[in-house]
Amino acid sequence: MRREPEERINESAINAWQLSAHLFAIIPLLVTIAAFILAYYVDFIPYWIGMILTVVTLLEWGVTAFFIPKLRWRRWRYQIYDQEIYIQHGILIVTRTVVPMIRVQHVDTQQGPILKKYGLSTLEISTAATTHEIPALLEEDAADLRDQISELARVEQDDV
């Protein structure tokens, strides 16, 4: 059996994922507030619906903002070899992907506002079938990996 990849994504990924979870928690919070407002003004909507939504919202917020990002960071690993890219991620379902260099069509780095706040970028590796991502790398590391993979893929395609 193949050894586990050794490279990890940047630890600031935890903070970026927590910030994303806090921002996405606003939506169920607004739905919960709307349920209480409707229960106040409309007689046929009981208050217990708002209470249940409150419990569900707080549980979802706590799990996605404080528990999942740390677990997700621990599970994300990757390794770049001369012939392939090995990616492993997943909490309950662990996905191990090997991308042969010969299949790489292009490599991109991507950075949204949350990743930019922490100086991180996502590396996207495209093949004919799909796109693979290595999230939350330092900007310099992502650029270096992009150039390294591009060079290795070019060498592999020249050999064909």
pLDDT at 158: 66
Closest CA to 6 of 77, 88, 90: 77
pLDDT at 47: 87
> Would you place residue 116 in the very low, low, confident or very high pLDDT band (cuts 50, 70, 90)?
very high
pLDDT tens, 69-95? 999 999 999 999 999 999 999 999 999
Burial of 61 (0-12, 13-18, 19+ CB in 10 A): middle
pLDDT at 160 over 60: no
Supply the pLDDT for residue 156. Answer: 63
Contacts of 119 (CB under 8 A, 6+ apart): 12, 138, 139
Q: Model pTM?
A: 0.84
pLDDT digits (tens, 9 = 90+) for 20-57: 999 999 999 999 999 999 999 988 888 899 899 999 99
The Cα–Cα gap between 15 and 11 comes to 8
Residue from 75, 90, 67, 77 nearest 18 by CA: 67
Q: What is the pLDDT of residues 137-148, one digit of tens each?
A: 999 999 999 999
3-state secondary structure of 98: strand
The strand ranges marked E within the chain are 7-8, 77-80, 84-89, 95-100, 106-110, 120-126, 131-138
- Grouping H, G, I as helix, E, B as strand and the rest as coil, residue 145 is helix
> Mean pLDDT, the chain, as a whole number?
92
In this prediction, what percent of the chain has a pLDDT beyond 70? 96
